[in-house]
Amino acid sequence: MTLPGRHGSRIGIALWRARPLLIAALASLALIGTLQVLAPPPPEQTTVVVAARGLPAGARLSTADLATTDLPIEAAPEGAFVTVQEALGARLAHPVPARGVLTQSGVMVQGTWGEVASHEAVVPVRLADPAVAALLPEAAELHLVAASGDGARTLTTEARLVARIEGETADPLVGSAGPTSPLLIVVIPADVVTLVLDASAGGALAVALGPSA
C-alpha cells in the first residue's frame, strides 16, 4: 500500500519535471494573445457586382449574368455597381471576363443606344487618328472608311457609336494606336465586321460623321 504522502511526492516530482513544458505552453498562449491584440483589424469590405461568367460586348445584363462579392473598399473600382438591381437592363460597352467587376463606366444603360438588331454586331475599334476618336459626339451616326496608300473605300455608312473608353491598353485585334487612342464601341452591320476589324487592326480605319445612307 502506497502512503498518501509518498504518492503526493511523486505527483509533485512529475509536475516539477514538466515545468519547462508548462512554462512554454503558457508563454505561447500569452504570445498568441498579444499578437491578436496587436494585429491590425481586417480591411473594411464593400459589396460589388461581378460577371457570373464571361460576357461579350453588347450583352444585356440579366440576373443570370450577375453575382456579388466582397472586396476591400480600396480595391473596389470607382463606380462599381453595388447591387444586382443597379446593373439589370444595362448593356456592356466592352467584354467582361468571369468575376470581372462591373462598373457604371463599362456599361451603357438600356435605351441609351437602343436595340441591336439581329443583322447587327457590336465591335470594339480604334481609329487611325486618336484625336478624331476623342472628338466624336456620343451616339453619333458614322461612316467607317478604310484609308490606305491605295486610296480609301467606304466600309459602311450604317455605324453608330455607343461608347468611348479612354485609357484602354491597345490590343492587336482592334489596332495598335496605343493606350492614348480611345477604344470605340460601335454597332455595325454584321456582314462588314471582318472588314472593319481588319482596318482597325491595320491602323487604317477612318470615320466621317453623317446619317446612314
Give tens-digit pLDDT for 178-200: 446 788 888 899 999 999 999 99
* Residue bearing cell 505552453: 25
Separation between Cα atoms, residue 165 and residue 162, nearest integer Å: 10
Contact 96, 81 (CB under 8 A): no
Q: Is residue 15 part of a domain?
A: no
Q: Is residue 9 part of a domain?
A: no
Give tens-digit pLDDT for 21-63: 767 776 777 666 665 655 567 789 999 999 999 998 778 899 9
Handedness of CA 121, 127, 130, 131 (dihedral sign): negative
Q: Is residue 49 part of a domain?
A: yes
Q: Is residue 133 part of a domain?
A: yes
- 52: which residues sit within 8 A by CB, 6+ positions away? 64, 65, 66, 67, 98
Q: Is residue 21 part of a domain?
A: no
User: Would residue 186 be called left, alpha or beta, if left means φ above 0 and alpha means ψ between -120 and 50 degrees?
Assistant: beta
C-alpha cell at 25: 505552453
Furthest-apart CA atoms within the chain: distance in Å:
116
Last residue of a domain, one of 58, 85, 108: 108
Q: Is residue 187 part of a domain?
A: yes
188 and 132: one domain?
A: yes
Q: How many domains does the chain have?
A: 2
Expressed as residue numbers, the domain containing 171 is 120-209
- 45: which residues sit within 8 A by CB, 6+ positions away? 70, 71, 72, 73
67 — pLDDT class (breaks 50, 70, 90): very high
Q: Considering the chain, what is the average pLDDT of its residues?
A: 79
CATH of the domain at 61: 3.90.1210.10
Give tens-digit pLDDT for 69-128: 999 998 888 889 999 999 998 888 778 899 999 988 777 644 445 567 788 888 889 998
C-alpha triplet 27, 31, 33: angle, nearest 5°: 120
Q: What residue type is 158 in one-letter code?
A: E
Can you say how many angstroms the Cα of residue 91 is from the centroid of all Cα atoms in its chain?
Answer: 14
141 and 190: one domain?
A: yes
103 and 164: one domain?
A: no
157 and 183: one domain?
A: yes
Closest CA to 205 of 60, 194, 1, 88: 194
C-alpha cell at 156: 459602311
Higher pLDDT, 53 or 151: 53
Q: Is residue 164 part of a domain?
A: yes
127 and 95: one domain?
A: no
User: Would residue 85 be called left, alpha or beta, if left means φ above 0 and alpha means ψ between -120 and 50 degrees?
Assistant: alpha
75 and 141: one domain?
A: no
99 and 145: one domain?
A: no
